[in-house]
């Protein structure tokens, strides 16, 4: 692995560490969500909402900065992301309940989106002839952050540090490092801008349909948070339709069909990877106990090593072949995880799942960068934004909601009276549901508490089994794309200036 100049080296590794910072926030949140649930009496769906808000606002900042980043510059985006990371730590460690946790995660997600708004186009520009390989190496920073942040969090617990607030402050380590590395750098000019591509052509690649998809999820979630309208999903759809049509008419484009197809796949992809990663520590706790946090560290270590080896693998299989193989492995791994009951079987299943999810995100970004260079930073970053929206607004919440609904049904069938005693009605983006209230559970006798715990533990495996359907659908989609490119003479990167 070689970098062009000393400045390129500092830029690349500064971007790498900035991505590590975004991963620190994710892994620490995943490991302390149980502490938050216990301290603030959060239901699984509420935990899913906190996971989600730590993801979907990413799309707001990554898309907005992508629209203006060529004007304001990458350094401005870097400084804004740094401010968000610092502010989120302050809000979170002073939180007194669900609302403050929610907004602390909202701000960290804005910072994370801003980070990716500049690191992806910077690396794609520096390595314009080998984008997929270097984007995979860059995104080794994500699982690297999981490994480092996870190990530090676990070590603090092992040293007797019970306070989740001190664990949140671990985010300051990579945040300060990337800021110091990048603040004095000269960032490159985007590939699209250097080639003289027009701003309108960039917008046309996404088009009205692409904007509709992005706006629908953002507006639906904001409608739920601020209680605007009776049905956030319908409110979001109507408002997004207006925005999407207006945008499409203004730029005279509905968007590239291939790009829209990849956007939709990205929702499934992000939920398969990040949605499960958000929940896996808690989902595997019944089987692994206090060792469950190590599972995410283990799968992340596998991903880190494989992403550094992405070049030969992608060259051998092609980007789409790599994605198809990954989808098949991820589906098998999730089904195996849902059925595993011993530590050995869990580790084997986790290895399969880790290998599967390794190349999803960066290889998709590589495909987008290679097929839509006229879209510049916007097409590249909107893809990541839609992924975060999908898992943040729907995916993480869906996994929590699956658990709540499974628990609700199982408790009602086993003991109707106890079910009525320990559950309460809740309202979320996915509709009304009933959830176990831990304060009510604490008030019942130990035998009944054991029944509730048994049902809750069983619901976790159900969630993993159901989400395995997503990579199975992705596998079929990638086969369709492989067939499409085969009919066009094979997969080839698009060069700016070509027809």
Range of the domain at 11: 6-184+257-406+460-486
pLDDT tens string 213-263: 989 888 887 887 777 777 787 888 999 999 999 999 999 999 999 999 999
In a domain, 379, yes or no: yes
**Domain tally for the chain?**
1
In a domain, 203, yes or no: no
pLDDT at residue number 394 = 74
- φ, ψ of residue 255 in degrees (nearest 5): 110, 155
In a domain, 202, yes or no: no
pLDDT at residue number 52 = 76
pLDDT tens string 163-187: 899 999 999 999 999 999 999 998 8
pLDDT tens string 74-110: 999 999 999 999 999 999 999 998 999 999 999 999 9
In a domain, 37, yes or no: yes
In a domain, 281, yes or no: yes
Assess whether pLDDT exceeds 70 at residue 63: yes
pLDDT at residue number 428 = 66
pLDDT grade for 352, boundaries at 50, 70 and 90: very high
pLDDT grade for 499, boundaries at 50, 70 and 90: very low
Assess whether pLDDT exceeds 80 at residue 122: yes
pLDDT at residue number 498 = 53
pLDDT tens string 124-160: 888 888 888 899 999 999 999 989 998 998 888 777 7
- CATH no. for residue 82? 1.20.1250.20
What's the chain's average pLDDT?
A: 87
In a domain, 453, yes or no: no
Position with higher pLDDT, 469 vs 5: 469
pLDDT at residue number 283 = 65
pLDDT at residue number 246 = 97
pLDDT grade for 306, boundaries at 50, 70 and 90: very high
In a domain, 389, yes or no: yes
Position with higher pLDDT, 286 vs 302: 302
> pTM of the predicted model, to two decimals?
0.82
In a domain, 425, yes or no: no
pLDDT at residue number 1 = 47
């Amino acid at each position: 692995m070689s970098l062009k100049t000393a400045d390129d080296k500092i830029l690349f590794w500064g971007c790498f560490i900035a991505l590590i910072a975004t991963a620190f926030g994710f892994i620490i949140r995943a490991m302390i969500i149980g502490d938050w649930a216990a301290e603030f009496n959060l239901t699984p769906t509420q935990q899913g909402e906190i996971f989600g808000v730590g993801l979907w606002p990413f799309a707001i900042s990554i898309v907005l900065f992508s629209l203006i980043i060529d004007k304001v510059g990458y350094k401005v985006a870097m400084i804004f992301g740094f401010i968000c990371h610092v502010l989120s730590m302050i809000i979170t460690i002073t939180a007194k309940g669900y609302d403050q946790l929610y907004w602390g995660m909202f701000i960290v997600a804005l910072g994370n989106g801003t980070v990716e708004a500049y690191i992806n186009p910077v690396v794609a520009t520096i390595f314009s002839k080998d984008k997929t390989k270097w984007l995979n190496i860059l995104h080794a920073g994500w699982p690297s952050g999981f490994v480092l942040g996870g190990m530090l969090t676990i070590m603090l617990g092992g040293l007797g540090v019970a306070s989740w607030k001190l664990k949140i402050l671990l985010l300051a380590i990579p945040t300060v490092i990337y800021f110091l590395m990048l603040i004095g750098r000269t960032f490159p000019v985007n590939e699209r801008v250097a080639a003289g591509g027009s701003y309108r052509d960039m917008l046309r690649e996404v088009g009205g349909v692409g904007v509709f998809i992005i706006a629908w999820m953002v507006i639906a979630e904001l409608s739920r948070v601020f209680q605007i309208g009776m049905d956030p999903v319908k409110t979001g759809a109507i408002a997004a339709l207006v925005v999407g049509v207006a945008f499409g008419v203004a730029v005279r484009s509905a968007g590239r069909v291939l790009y829209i197809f990849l956007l939709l796949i990205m929702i499934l992809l992000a939920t398969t990877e990040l949605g499960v990663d958000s929940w896996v520590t808690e989902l595997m706790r019944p089987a692994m106990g206090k060792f469950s946090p190590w599972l995410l560290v283990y799968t992340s270590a596998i991903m880190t090593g494989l992403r550094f080896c992405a070049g030969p693998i992608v060259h051998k299989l092609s980007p789409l072949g790599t994605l198809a193989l990954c989808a098949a492995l991820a589906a098998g791994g999730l089904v195996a995880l849902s059925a595993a009951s011993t530590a050995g079987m869990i580790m084997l299943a986790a290895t399969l799942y880790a290998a599967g999810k390794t190349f999803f995100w960066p290889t998709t970004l590589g495909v987008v960068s290679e097929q839509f260079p006229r879209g510049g930073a916007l097409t590249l970053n909107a893809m990541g934004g839609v992924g975060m929206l999908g898992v943040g607004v729907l995916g993480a919440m869906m996994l929590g909601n699956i658990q709540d609904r499974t628990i609700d049904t199982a408790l009602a069938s086993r003991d109707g009276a106890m079910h009525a005693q320990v559950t309460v009605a809740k309202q979320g983006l996915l509709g009304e549901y009933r959830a176990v209230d831990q304060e009510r559970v604490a008030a019942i006798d130990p035998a009944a508490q054991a029944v509730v715990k048994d049902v809750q533990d069983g619901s976790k495996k159900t969630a993993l089994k159901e989400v395995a359907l997503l990579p199975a659908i992705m596998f079929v989609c990638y086969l369709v794309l492989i067939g499409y490119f085969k009919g066009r003479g094979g997969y080839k990167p698009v060069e700016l200036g070509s027809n």
